[in-house]
Chain A
Amino acid sequence: MKLAKISGTVVSTINFPFFDSKSLMICDLINAHGEFDGYTIAVDVVGAGVGEIVLVIDEGNSSRQIFGLETGPIRATIVGIVDQVDLEVPGDSSE
Chain B
Amino acid sequence: MQLGRVQGTVVATIKSDGLEGVRFLIVQPLDKHQQPVGDPLVAADAVHMAGPGELIYFVASREAAEAMPERFVPVDHAIVGIVDQVHVVS
Contacts of B90 in A (CB 8 A): 7
B6 to chain A, nearest CB (A): 13
Q: B23 interface residue, CB < 8 Å from A?
A: no
| A11 adjacent to B84 (CB under 8 Å) | yes
Q: Does B25 contact A (CB under 8 A)?
A: no
Interface contacts (Cβ under 8 Å), in number, total 90
Question: What are the residues of chain A within 8 A of B59 when measuring CB–CB?
Answer: 73-75
Indicate with 1 or 0, residue by residue over B53-90, a CB within 8 angstroms of chain A CB atoms.
00001011111101100010000001011111111111
Name the B residues within 8 Å of A71 (CB-CB): 66, 71
Could you tell me the distance between the alpha carbons of A11 and B71 in the complex, rounded to whole angstroms?
27
Interface size on B, residues (CB 8 A): 30
Assess whether A14 is interfacial by the CB under 8 Å rule: yes
Shortest distance in angstroms between B31's beta carbon and chain A's nearest beta carbon? 7
Q: Given that A16-B46, A71-B71 are contacting pairs, would A10 and B63 also be in contact in the complex, using a CB cutoff of 8 Å? A: no
The answer to the question of A84 belonging to the interface, with a C-beta cut-off of 8 Å to chain B, is no
Give the total of A residues in contact with B, Cβ under 8 Å.
Answer: 28
Contact with B along A59-82 (1 / 0, CB 8 A): 010000000000111111000000
- A14-B47 in contact given A19-B81, A26-B32, A26-B86 (Cβ < 8 Å): yes
Please tell me if the beta carbons of A14 and B49 are within 8 angstroms of each other in the complex: yes
